[in-house]
Amino acid sequence: MKRIAIKSGLLASATITAIALPSAAMAAGVPAGTPIDNTAEATYTIGGVTETVPSNTVTVQVDEILDVAVQSLDGGNVAIDDNGAVLTFQVNNTGNGPEAYEIEVDPAIVGDDFDPSIVKFAYDSNGNGVYDEGEDTVIPFGGSTPTILADDSLRLFVITELDGANPDDQDTADVRLTATAETGSGDPGTVFAGQGVDGVDAVVGLTTALDSDIGTLIAQSVSYTHLTLPTIYSV
């Protein structure tokens, strides 16, 4: 009777290939929806003759990984006075597929000196890097960015004013901008079945598909108008 001896090293190789099949669908750095062909091979020896037999080829598509990074671009405190001020942020799509991000801006951060008012926020629709009133597109409160391609970014502007806040000179205020993947967020590995590119699964990456950063305002030369009423004497 002939015996088939499968070399242990090659058997391990075949096993590793089989295990790698599901993880190939989450290949980092590969665009979401990319098809990947997987073929295992088994090598055996009969009577001194070595043979290699391939398995059927299995094709999987790369899942969409949901990730994001937010950063303040101001590089320091931004002066605010009676005319208000603009804070600048950048939202980076660090996933592998196109994604829009829900934007939330919070001026009520514990531990600073005052809370400014958020007039609106907008994205740099003309691409010149600075805020242009009436030109850059306003994002409604509770709204989202336009779709950002994988490895691309979008600059956002937060327009603030004092609006009743009465800070002393050099008082500071922190404003947090948070971006959350519109498809969904959660613990790393959370799956949104069929909601990725071309119907693949969308999978939450290491950032939890949510990130935030803080920009800081500093009150400078703030003037307040005091109305003095004339004294009326009665005779």
**DSSP-assigned letters across all residues of 9-23:** HHHHHHHHHHHHHHH
Q: How many CB atoms lie within 10 A of CB 155?
A: 19
Answer yes or no: is pLDDT of 153 > 50. Answer: yes
Read off the tokens for 230. Answer: 């004339």
Element (H, E) at 217: strand 210-219
- Residue found by looking up tokens 């603009």 in the block: 86
| Rounded Cα gap, residues 63 and 194, in angstroms | 9
Read off the tokens for 229. Answer: 């009423």
Q: What is the pLDDT of residues 74-125, one digit of tens each?
A: 999 999 999 999 999 999 999 999 999 999 999 999 999 999 999 999 999 9
Q: Is the CATH number 2.60.40.10 carried by domain 65-219?
A: yes
Domain layout of the chain by residue ranges: 5-62, 65-219
How high is the pLDDT of residue 229? Answer: 53
Nearest to 4 by CA among 49, 48, 50, 44: 44
| Rounded Cα gap, residues 85 and 142, in angstroms | 21
Phi first, then psi: give them for residue 213, nearest 5 degrees.
-150, 165
Report for 25-34, 59-68, 139-148: range of highest mean pLDDT: 139-148
Least confident of 5-9, 146-150, 215-219: 5-9
CA–CA distances in Å: residue 11 to residues 51, 73, 85, 103, 113: 13, 53, 65, 50, 66
Q: What is the pLDDT of residues 203-214, one digit of tens each?
A: 999 999 999 999
Number of H helices, E strands in the chain: 1, 17
Answer yes or no: is pLDDT of 66 > 70. Answer: yes
